[in-house]
């Protein structure tokens, strides 16, 4: 290679290093073929030959590993995340997943690390963001929960995986960054006695059979509220979970002139998400057998609903829903949650999450000795690990196992008698 404007011509495709008229050292590396069929030859420059030699070797290594970033404008974290949301994942993920992505991106990631150049983002930048989220108070005066930080971590990891797949990044820094440890909440399933008390209280409330679906069948909230009568075969005692009712999201329909901060309170609000979506996973689309007692309760519920329909007259909005308001509309998840809390108080039962009812149903199946494949089918799980997460070894199961172990290991040994209890 020659210094100055002239340089030794390298064979086609070979890298070159030379000193230009501008006084800087330059390097050129062919890393592939562009979309127009011409060689994709990258250029680097610096003040010393050693620096350029290092840069050239780095480019050659990326070329050999097929991880060279695409040419063109440099992405920032913000521009990539917006592009990823608007142009890549929209239309390819469930509405609930897209909603979670939007919150993580616009509320946490863009304000926290948006200006960083995408190709210079390091694991330490992400870990610093996570620490700030956990230690700095939010506008409501409390720190962000570790579970929220994990959601942000999963979102950026997914977005950067796509950037790696498309050649914008050689590696994913989110796969290296450590997210804070999340301690799962202690779940205490309702006992059989508590379930029966809840059933008695539910029998006195409107749409009471809704809670039987939660505690006996383990249907997710959206699955239960999304049921239509066409999904239930009362003759054969079978229901099909095929959709999930979504929590509504709104936008201002007034152009921002109503004075309400939250679009949901706007008098002209416009719903921005669909009413229903498919079940959480393919395994969630399933058939579930109905106990005969539940079929009887559903038959009674249907007769009561028909009476409400007649009473409401023209105010009734026929949608075929199993659980409705007094005018036939589906019940919103937020209203359903408040009804659950009221039911717990009415039954005199300790407070618990609505999702604890699903844990309870799984535990009942475990108590009955239902096999794991059957349990997965009933609960709508695609991952066997979910059985360990939801089915809890409660006291009756522990006691039964202890008796079985004792009977096997000490078949002829009776418990020792206490002193003073011998017969004289």
Note the pLDDT tens digit of each residue in 252-276: 888 878 888 888 889 889 988 888 8
pLDDT bucket at 219, cuts 50 / 70 / 90: very high
DSSP 3-state percent helix, strand, coil across the chain (nearest 5): 50, 10, 40
- Max mean pLDDT among 7-11, 70-74, 106-110, 292-296 falls in 106-110
Please give the angle made by the CA atoms of 175, 101 and 181, to the nearest 5 degrees: 45
pLDDT in tens, 379-402: 888 888 787 777 776 566 566 666
Mean pLDDT, rounded, for 40-46: 90
CB 280 within 8 A of CB 249: no
**297 or 72, higher pLDDT:** 297
On average, the pLDDT of the chain sits at 86
Count of CA atoms in the C-beta half-sphere (13 A) of 256: 0
CA distance 349 to 191: 10
Mean pLDDT, rounded, for 64-90: 84
Looking at residue 83, its pLDDT comes to 92
Phi and psi at residue 280, to the nearest 5°: -55, -35
Domains of the chain (ranges; CATH) run 16-65 (no CATH), 77-175 (1.10.150.130), 192-221+284-390 (1.10.443.10)
Strand-pair partners of 76: 117
% of residues, the chain, pLDDT over 70: 86
- Max mean pLDDT among 90-94, 96-100, 153-157 falls in 153-157
User: Tokens standing for 244?
Assistant: 């999930």
pLDDT bucket at 8, cuts 50 / 70 / 90: low
Q: pLDDT at residue 404 above 70?
A: no
Mean pLDDT, rounded, for 126-149: 82
Looking at residue 401, its pLDDT comes to 60
CA distance 399 to 133: 44
Q: pLDDT at residue 245 above 70?
A: yes
% of residues, the chain, pLDDT over 90: 50
pLDDT in tens, 291-333: 999 999 999 999 999 999 999 999 999 999 999 999 999 999 9
Looking at residue 108, its pLDDT comes to 95
Phi and psi at residue 224, to the nearest 5°: -65, -45
Looking at residue 423, its pLDDT comes to 39
CB 367 within 8 A of CB 398: no
Q: pLDDT at residue 201 above 60?
A: yes
């Amino acid at each position: 290679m020659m210094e100055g404007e002239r340089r030794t011509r390298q064979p086609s495709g070979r890298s070159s290093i030379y000193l230009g008229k501008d006084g800087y050292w330059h390097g050129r590396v062919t890393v592939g073929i562009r979309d127009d069929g011409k060689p994709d030859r990258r250029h680097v420059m610096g003040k010393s030959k050693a620096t350029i030699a290092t840069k050239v070797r780095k480019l050659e290594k990326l070329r050999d590993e097929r991880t060279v970033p695409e040419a063109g404008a440099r992405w920032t974290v913000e521009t990539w995340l917006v592009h990823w949301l608007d142009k890549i994942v929209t239309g390819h993920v469930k509405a609930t997943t897209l909603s979670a992505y939007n919150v993580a991106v616009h509320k946490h990631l863009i304000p926290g690390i948006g200006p960083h150049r995408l190709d210079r983002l390091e694991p330490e930048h992400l870990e610093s963001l996570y620490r700030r989220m956990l230690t700095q108070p939010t506008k409501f005066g409390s720190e962000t929960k570790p579970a929220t930080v994990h959601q942000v971590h999963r979102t950026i990891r997914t977005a950067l995986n796509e950037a790696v797949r498309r050649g914008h990044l050689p590696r994913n820094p989110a796969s290296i960054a450590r997210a804070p440890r999340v301690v799962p909440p202690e779940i205490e399933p309702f006992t059989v006695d508590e379930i029966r008390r809840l059933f008695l209280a539910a029998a006195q409330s409107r749409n009471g059979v809704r809670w039987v679906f939660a505690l006996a069948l383990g249907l997710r909230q959206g699955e239960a509220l999304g049921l239509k009568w066409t999904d239930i075969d009362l003759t054969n005692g079978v229901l099909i979970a095929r959709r999930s009712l979504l929590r509504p999201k709104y936008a201002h329909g007034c152009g921002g002139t109503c004075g309400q901060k939250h679009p949901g309170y706007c008098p002209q609000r416009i719903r921005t998400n669909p009413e229903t979506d498919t079940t959480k996973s393919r395994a969630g689309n399933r058939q579930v057998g109905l106990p005969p007692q539940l079929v009887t309760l559903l038959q009674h519920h249907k007769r009561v609903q028909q009476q409400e329909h007649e009473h409401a007259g023209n105010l009734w909005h026929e949608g075929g829903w199993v659980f409705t308001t007094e005018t036939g509309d589906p019940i919103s998840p937020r209203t359903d949650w408040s009804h659950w809390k009221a039911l717990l108080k009415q039954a005199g039962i300790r407070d618990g999450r609505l999702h604890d009812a699903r844990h309870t149903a799984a535990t009942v199946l475990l108590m009955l000795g239902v096999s794991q494949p059957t349990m997965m089918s009933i609960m709508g799980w695609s991952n066997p690990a979910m059985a360990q997460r939801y089915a809890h070894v409660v006291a009756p199961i522990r006691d039964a196992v202890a008796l079985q172990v004792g009977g096997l290991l000490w078949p002829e040994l009776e418990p020792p008698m206490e002193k003073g209890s011998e017969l004289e």
